[in-house]
Structure 1
């Protein structure tokens, strides 16, 4: 393997990098929950969350459409889509 080759984990942006990109470009603050929801909609598989809600009917806020579009654009920018 060449020293310049990246592993698949190194080529992915972190949630903090995605948040910073969206804040700088769109002046929007997005939560990790919204990023995870958009990644799930796009078919990007996340690892299992072990901090699940104790009740099965726990309500989660849904990502607004303008933030969803910004997150998708950021995922494309970071070549994750």
Structure 2
């Protein structure tokens, strides 16, 4: 069964709600974007870039990576 482009684009809010309901974990949009990037899903360019080049960005905890990947598979993003 083929997916339409609208069906394949799950909002981050849906992923966060799914993870909260199933696992009771709060996940930030940044963590979801980092896992998607690591899996090779290319996102659009971020226009809200840091002004300084050495700005530190928090990394997702390894235990949450598996949860985000499972939710992405559930929503057919991976």
Taking structure 1 as the reference length, the TM-score comes to 0.88
What is residue 37 of structure 2 aligned with on the other side? 40
**Bigger Rg, structure 1 or 2:** 1
Structure 1 spans left out of the alignment, 5+ residues: none
Structure 2 spans left out of the alignment, 5+ residues: none
Kindly report structure 1 stretches of 4+ aligned residues shifted beyond 2 Å: none
Q: What is the number of residues matched between the two proteins? A: 77
Cα distance per residue 1:9-50 (max 9 Å; x no partner): 332210000000000111000000000000000001100000
Taking only aligned residues, the RMSD between alpha carbons, in angstroms, comes to 1.3
Q: Does 1:49 align with 2:46?
A: yes
Q: How does 1:7-46 map to 2 (within 5 A)?
A: 7-46=4-43
